[in-house]
Amino acid sequence: MPSYTLSVLGHEISFKTDADNDRIMGAKTLLEERFADLYRDGSTLGKEKLLLFLALSLADDFLESKATLGRMEEKIKALLEKNP
User: How many domains in the chain?
Assistant: 1
| Amino acid in the structure at residue 62 | F
| Chain centre distance of CA 17 | 16
Single pTM value for the model:
0.77
Residue pLDDT tens, the chain, 84 long: 889 999 999 999 999 999 999 999 999 999 999 999 988 877 788 888 999 999 999 999 999 999 999 999 999 999 999 876
Domain that residue 40 falls in: 3-82
Residue environment code for 45-75, b if the CB has 16+ CB neighbours within 10 A, otherwise e:
eeeeebbebbeeeeeeeeeeeeeeeeeeeee
